[in-house]
Amino acid sequence: MTQGYAKTYRPEALEQEAEQFIANQLIEDPNLRIEIRALPLELRNVEKSCEAPLELSTPSAPPFNRQVTVQLKCPDTINWTQYVHVRIEELVPMVIANKSLARGELITRDVLELVYKPKQFARASYFDNVEPLVGSRSKRTISEGIAIATSQICMVCKGDNVTIEANQATLSIKTTGIALEDGNLGELVSVKNARSGKTLRARVTGVESVEVNL
C-alpha cells in the first residue's frame, strides 16, 4: 500500500486504463492505423477504490491477437482484481460513396471519401485510393457508406469513346476507339479501332484509356 494514495475507479476508467496499457506496448508504425477498444464492463455503476497504484498485466506478449485480456490488480489490503477484454483492430483504407449513386452515374471526386475500416472487412476487390475512381461510372446502384467494389463500377464502359495507346519498343502511338465491353484497371477488354475498324484486345490503364502492345 502506498502512503497517502487513494483512488476511485469507475468502470469507464478501468477500461481506459486497460486500453492505454495495450497501446503502450504496441510498436508505432506510421503506415498502420490501430483501433484499441475495451469491451464494456457489465457492472456500469460500481466504483472500485484502491490505496495503491494498479498493477496491469496480460497473459500474452505483443504481437497480440485481435482480442487480449488485461488483468488490473489492486495490491492493497482489499486486494481486488478486475479483468478487461480489449479488442485490437488494424484499420485499412477503403473508398466509399458519401451518398447513394444510381446505375450509370458518373463518379466525381466530391462523392468519394476515404475511410478506415477493420482489416478483416477488406477485400482485394475494394479500392484504397480515391483517384483511380474519378471519372468512372457505376454499373449498379452503390449504397452510401459502403466500400466500393470493382464489380460496381467500370473505368471503361461499353460504348465509351476510349484512347488507345499502342506501344512497340520505344515507339508509342495514340488513337481512338470504342469500347465493346466494360472493364476495370488491368482487365482486358475488346475495343474497336475508330480508324481501321479492327477489333483489338486491350488492357485498361485508367478511365477511358486502354493500351495494346504491338
Q: What is the DSSP letter of 98?
A: S
CA angle centred on 33, ends 32 and 36, rounded to 5°: 130
Could you give the CA distance from residue 190 to residue 80 in angstroms, rounded to a whole number?
71
Would you tell me which CATH number, out of the four given (3.50.30.60, 3.30.565.10, 2.30.30.760, 3.90.960.10), belongs to the domain 161-213?
2.30.30.760
Residue 6's pLDDT is 85
Residue 2's pLDDT is 59
Task: Indicate if 161-213 has the same CATH topology as 92-154.
Answer: no
Residue 55's pLDDT is 95
Q: What is the per-residue pLDDT across 116-175, written as a single tens digit (0 to 9) for each?
A: 988 887 777 899 999 999 999 999 999 999 899 999 999 999 999 999 998 877 788 899
Would you tell me which CATH number, out of the four given (3.60.40.10, 3.30.479.30, 3.90.1210.10, 3.40.640.10), belongs to the domain 92-154?
3.90.1210.10
Give pTM, 2 decimals. Answer: 0.69
Q: What is the per-residue pLDDT across 93-102, written as a single tens digit (0 to 9) for each?
A: 999 999 999 9
Q: Which three cell numbers stand for residue 105?
A: 452515374
E strand spans, the chain: 7-9, 33-38, 48-50, 55-57, 67-73, 81-97, 112-118, 137-138, 153-154, 161-168, 171-179, 188-193, 199-206, 209-213
Confidence class for position 1, pLDDT limits 50, 70, 90: low
Kindly state the average pLDDT of the residues 180-201. 93
Q: Which residue has the cell 478511365?
A: 207
Confidence class for position 3, pLDDT limits 50, 70, 90: low
Average per-residue pLDDT for the chain: 90
Residue 78's pLDDT is 82
Measured from the Cβ of residue 90, the count of other Cβ atoms closer than 10 Å reads 15
Confidence class for position 39, pLDDT limits 50, 70, 90: very high
Peptide bond into 63 cis (omega under 30): yes
Kindly state the average pLDDT of the residues 185-200. 93
